[in-house]
Chains A and B, each alone.
Chain A
Amino acid sequence: MSIDTVNFTPYASLAGGVMIGFAAAILILFSGRIAGISNILGGVVRFSETRQNQWRIFFLAGLILSPWVYGLFFALPDAKVELDNLGLVVAGLLVGYGTRLGSGCTSGHGVCGLSRLSVRSLAATLVFILTGIITVYLTHH
Chain B
Amino acid sequence: MSLLISFFSGLIFGLGLIVSGMTNPVKVIGFLDIFGQWDPSLAFVMMGAILVGFFAFRHTKKTHKTLLGETAHLPTGHQIDRPLLLGAALFGIGWGLAGYCPGPALGSLLSGGLKPFIFTASMIAGMMIFHRLHQS
Asked if B127 and A45 make an inter-chain contact with CB atoms under 8 angstroms apart, the answer reads yes
* A-side interface residues, number (CB < 8 Å): 113
What's the least CB distance linking B56 to chain A, in Å?
A: 3
Asked if A62 and B56 make an inter-chain contact with CB atoms under 8 angstroms apart, the answer reads no
Asked if B32 and A129 make an inter-chain contact with CB atoms under 8 angstroms apart, the answer reads yes
What's the least CB distance linking B94 to chain A, in Å?
A: 3
Q: How many A-B residue pairs have CB under 8 A?
A: 497
Given contacts A66-B107, A79-B111, A136-B29, contact A95 B6 (CB under 8 A): no
Asked if A67 and B107 make an inter-chain contact with CB atoms under 8 angstroms apart, the answer reads yes
Given contacts A9-B21, A96-B122, A102-B91, contact A31 B66 (CB under 8 A): yes
CB nearest neighbor in B for A100: B130
Asked if B16 and A18 make an inter-chain contact with CB atoms under 8 angstroms apart, the answer reads yes
Chain A to chain B contacts (Cβ below 8 Å), 11 pairs: A16-B18, A27-B6, A32-B65, A41-B124, A92-B118, A94-B93, A96-B123, A113-B75, A131-B89, A133-B96, A137-B35
